[in-house]
């Protein structure tokens, strides 16, 4: 968990800027209440898994289902892949997106597993230039509460979240850096990246 306010502020600012670039401005079909309701239901599901007492493997599986139902997986995966995905073999990209879903679910599922004994509470929502931001607060035993922010859009045709910021750590920005580094190590081979993502996270 990051505790440096300066770094947190910088990351949050970068997160907002990146999100504004990625999503085009336009008239809202999604409303503040709908965005807040989506994350409210999602948070209820996460809290249910946190309190379930299941094994880590079972919890991660549940988190993957929550992620698949509520996140714009394709957008997040392709955003992380960046320009390398343009013009790439469609089969390799599809395999990468599927592998990325499992990878990101395991990775963030382990983060949420840290919340056992605590809970997440949705507090507020606000429209930004081309999406909505829903603010929630995580309450952990023995720690000061901290924010978890969700960015929600209906760009895909459904109301889904496309970014997650935990204590200023931006999922889109972090994954773009990490996936880019992983792809570079594999010489730009997206198929090899997909195979490795099946074991990563």
Q: Where in the sequence is the domain holding 159, given as residue range(s)? A: 30-197
Q: What is the predicted pLDDT for the residue at 15?
A: 43
pLDDT at 196 over 80: yes
pLDDT in tens, 129-178: 889 999 999 998 888 999 999 999 999 899 999 999 988 899 999 999 99
Closest Cα to residue 135, out of 126, 108, 143? 126
**Cα end-to-end span (Å), the chain:** 17
Q: Is 125 helix (H, G, I), strand (E, B) or coil?
A: strand
Specify if 4 maps to a domain.
Answer: no
Examine residue 174 and state whether it is found in any structural domain, yes or no: yes
> What are 41-53's pLDDT values in tens digits?
999 999 899 889 8
> Residue 60: is it exposed, middle or buried by C-beta count within 10 angstroms (0-12/13-18/19+)?
buried
How far is Cα 186 from Cα 166, in angstroms, rounded to an integer?
A: 29
Give the domain CATH number at 124. Answer: 3.10.450.710
Q: What is the pLDDT of residue 22?
A: 45
Residues 76-135 pLDDT 10s: 999 999 999 888 899 999 999 999 998 988 888 887 877 788 889 999 999 998 899 999
Is a pLDDT exceeding 70 seen at residue 8? no
pLDDT score recorded for residue 60? 85
Q: Quick check: is 147 in a domain?
A: yes
Q: Please check whether residue 2 lies inside any domain of the structure.
A: no
| pTM for this predicted structure | 0.80
Domain count, the chain: 1
Q: What is the pLDDT of residues 171-189, one digit of tens each?
A: 999 999 999 999 999 999 9
**pLDDT recorded at residue 59:** 87
Q: How many degrees, rounded to 5, is the angle at CA 67 between CA 61 and CA 103?
A: 65
The verdict on residue 22 lying in a domain is no
119: left (phi over 0), alpha (psi -120 to 50) or beta: beta
State the average pLDDT for the chain. 84
Phi-psi region of 69 (alpha: psi -120 to 50; beta: other; left: phi over 0): alpha
- Residue 19 inside a domain? The answer is no
Which element (helix H / strand E) includes 135?
A: strand 132-139
């Amino acid at each position: 968990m990051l505790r440096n306010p300066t770094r947190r502020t910088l990351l949050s600012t970068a997160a907002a800027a990146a999100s504004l670039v990625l999503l085009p401005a336009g008239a809202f079909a999604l409303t503040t209440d709908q965005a807040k309701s989506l994350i409210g239901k999602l948070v209820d599901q996460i809290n249910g898994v946190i309190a379930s007492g299941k094994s880590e493997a079972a919890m991660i599986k549940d988190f993957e289902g929550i992620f698949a139902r509520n996140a714009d997986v394709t957008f997040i995966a392709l955003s992380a892949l960046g320009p390398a995905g343009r013009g790439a073999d469609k089969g390799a990209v599809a395999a990468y997106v599927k592998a990325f879903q499992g990878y990101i679910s395991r990775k963030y599922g382990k983060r949420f597993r840290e919340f056992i004994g605590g809970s997440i509470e949705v507090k507020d929502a606000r429209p930004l230039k081309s999406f909505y931001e829903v603010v929630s607060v995580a309450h952990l035993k023995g720690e000061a509460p901290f924010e978890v922010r969700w960015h929600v859009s209906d760009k895909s045709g459904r109301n889904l979240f496309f970014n997650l910021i935990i204590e200023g750590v931006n999922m889109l920005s972090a994954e773009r850096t990490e996936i880019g580094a992983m792809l570079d190590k594999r010489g730009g081979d997206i198929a090899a990246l997909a195979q490795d993502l099946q074991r990563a996270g």
